[in-house]
Structure formats: C-alpha cells, structure tokens
Amino acid sequence: MITVSVLYANSDDASFDIDYYVTKHMPMVQAKLGSALLDSQAEQGLASGTPGEKPPYVALCHLHFDSVEAFQGAFAPHAEEILADVANYTNIEPTFQISEIKPI
Amino acid sequence: MITVSVLYANSDDASFDIDYYVTKHMPMVQAKLGSALLDSQAEQGLASGTPGEKPPYVALCHLHFDSVEAFQGAFAPHAEEILADVANYTNIEPTFQISEIKPI
C-alpha cells in the first residue's frame, strides 16, 4: 500500500482556508478518485517539535492507494480539475510525497 | 485526535537504514509510548509529484494520539532515549509536525 501526502508549507504570508479544504476540496477529491482511494485523512498543523515555533506545515492530507499505478490511474483523468481548485483555498504551492507503507 | 509526523528530508548526502528503522527503532518507540500511542505508521519515500525527481522525504512516520497532552505525557519520559537512537539509522535531522486530524 502507498501513501500520497500533500503538504502545504508554512510561511509568513501563507493563507489557507481549512473550512473550504475539508468541506469542499477534499470531498471533491474523494469523489473524483473513487474506489481506488482506500482511505484519506486531512490534518491542520498545530505545532512543531520546538515550543513556540510554527508548525512546518499549515495543512496536510494523506491518501492511501494499493499502488502507485492505482493512484496514477485514478488521479490523471481528474488532475487538472483537482489542481485548479487549489487556488480556491490557499496561496501555498503544495509538496507531493509518494511513500510506501512499511510494516513495523 | 492528533498526528505527530516525523519527516526525514532528502538530500544528496542523506543516509537512512530503513531496516533498522522498522525493525528496531519504531518497535522501541511503540514500546516506550505504550497505550497513549493509538496507532503508528512508517513509510519509505518513493517519488515526488514530478517524474524522475527524488521524493522530498526519505522516510516518514505518523503517530496518532488522543491529544497533544497525551503525546507529551508519553514522550517526555523517553525523549532522550528515543532521540539518541536516531543516529543509529540516519544522518538526517528529523522534522517534527504536530497536526490535528480534521473530519472530511
């Protein structure tokens, strides 16, 4: 299984509409990706490891798929529409991380 | 519920022993944090969002707790021992991100 994480880095001029993100954007992403998307999680940054320091990321999401191919097959047909919606909730350019889940 | 993510950033001279991480370090972390740790996931970076580009992170983990206080209470007594083990599997200084899980 793989995780596709989308990370929105913090900065002094970062803006992020968390309500739009969880009530509009993420439900749209879930609908577009369909059953290839096994599970999804949205997160809002609270803190870093250093007291008083801003969280490295304002927001993140983690999307689980069976494989990179399953993700690509589900995402490619809707990539343009999904990415076009990003400007509706943030001025941050998202970072994409694709990872393999390792048994502990 | 919160997620504590520990992210190991990629670089040209990054080294990371994923086998030590999943067979020694993470099981030790699970044992030390005890029942306050609701769930944990280890990941190895595969790719970024750009074909041919390295993943932003060599490895990540995500640890779930009921609250920041639950995390701090479980982590503080073992922080020194857990952090001292990092040098046994990587030369990367980890990034800590504490986030609140938001319902979608």
**A56 to chain B: closest CA residue:** B97
Report whether B24 contacts A71 (CB < 8 A): no
B40 neighbourhood in chain A, CB within 8 Å? 104
> Does ipTM top 0.90?
yes
Contact A42 B3 (CB under 8 A): no
Question: What pLDDT is recorded for position B14?
Answer: 97
**A54 to chain B: closest CA residue:** B97
Domain with A69, as residue range(s), is: 2-100
Is B77 near chain A, with CB under 8 Å? no
Q: pLDDT band at residue B42, thresholds of 50, 70 and 90?
A: very high
Of A56, A97, A102, the CB nearest to B22: A102
| Distance set, CA B14 to CA B32, B49, B89 (Å) | 27, 20, 11
pLDDT truncated to tens, each residue of chain A (104 aa)?
999 999 999 999 999 999 999 999 999 999 999 999 999 999 999 999 888 899 999 999 999 999 999 999 999 999 999 999 999 999 999 999 999 999 99
Question: What pLDDT is recorded for position A8?
Answer: 98
| Span B55-74, average pLDDT | 97
The domain that holds B44 is classified in CATH as 3.30.70.100
Question: What pLDDT is recorded for position B52?
Answer: 86
Q: What is the pTM of this model?
A: 0.96
Question: What pLDDT is recorded for position A51?
Answer: 83
First to last CA, chain A: 14
SS (H, E, C) A43-73: EEEEEECCCCCCCCEEEEEEEEECCHHHHHH
- What is the total count of domains within chain A? 1
Average pLDDT, chain B: 97
Of B30, B50, B100, the CB nearest to A46: B100
